[in-house]
Amino acid sequence: GGQEYHMAANHGFARDSEFTYAGSTKNSVSFLLKDNDVTLAQYPYHFELEVTYSIKGSKVTVTNTVKNTDEKAMYFYLGGHPAFICDIQGGKCTVEYEKNEHIVQPIPNGERTILDGEKTITLTRELFGYDVIMKDHPASKAVTLKKSDGGFVKLSFPHSDCIAVWTSTGNPDAQFICLEPWTSVPVYEDDAFEDIENKPHAIKLAPEAVYTYSYTVEVG
């Protein structure tokens, strides 16, 4: 609407917000975030965001339901940031995409190819020296973190248009890998378009409309 709003942290505000308990079943639990004075100062829309965790066997499904409770259309980006314990030194872990992918990572003064029609990345901390490994519009709808001892974590993201792999490079004790399903590329990829109404990857939701986004984690 032509007015600037400043978020307190990266990846938006929901990650730092306190959700309220919204109900449970034998195998699920739900939490709810509604707009409030803190969110409205950063994000000028009235909304409800319900997150449900459902367990079935060795799988956990995370379902995000966004409802626009405003009188005008709202625009947003949505994604997950799940992290999994993994010793990434010495080639002990790999990430395997469901299908062959071509992934290029921007670096100073150019770019480097991470995958070129292949499926598997052998993980090292140095690989993330230039931040996240991101794939826009992947052919895959799942990625699997595999450990040398045979254990695995499979992340399925049927509704995502972007998948990212990331870990911290600043702390050698950070032995984890994040497999991040996003509805689309992150907002900074759209920085050429200042107004959120014009950002090509922002989701537009009409008043009273509902948007559902989910992903599943399988452990083996």
pLDDT in tens, 91-141: 789 999 999 999 999 899 999 999 999 999 999 888 998 999 999 999 999
Under the banding of pLDDT at 50, 70 and 90, the label for residue 17 is very high
Nearest to 49 by CA among 14, 3, 82: 14
CB atoms within 10 A of CB 99: 10
Task: Record the tokens describing residue 208, joined without a space.
Answer: 């009273």
pLDDT at 119: 97
Written as one string, the DSSP assignment of 122-175 is E--GGGGTTS-EEEES-S-SEEEEEETTS-EEEEE-TT-SEEEEE--SS-TT--
CB atoms within 10 A of CB 106: 11
pLDDT at residue 142 tops 80: yes
Contact in structure between 62 and 28 (CB atoms under 8 Å): no
Task: Record the tokens describing residue 37, joined without a space.
Answer: 């004075």
Secondary structure class of 180 (helix, strand, coil): strand
C-alpha count within 13 angstroms, C-beta hemisphere, residue 74: 23
CB atoms within 10 A of CB 213: 20
Q: What ranges do the domains of the chain cover?
A: 14-79+188-219, 83-182
pLDDT at residue 89 tops 80: no
Distance CA 213, CA 160 (A): 8
Q: Output phi, psi for 15, to 5 deg.
A: -60, -25
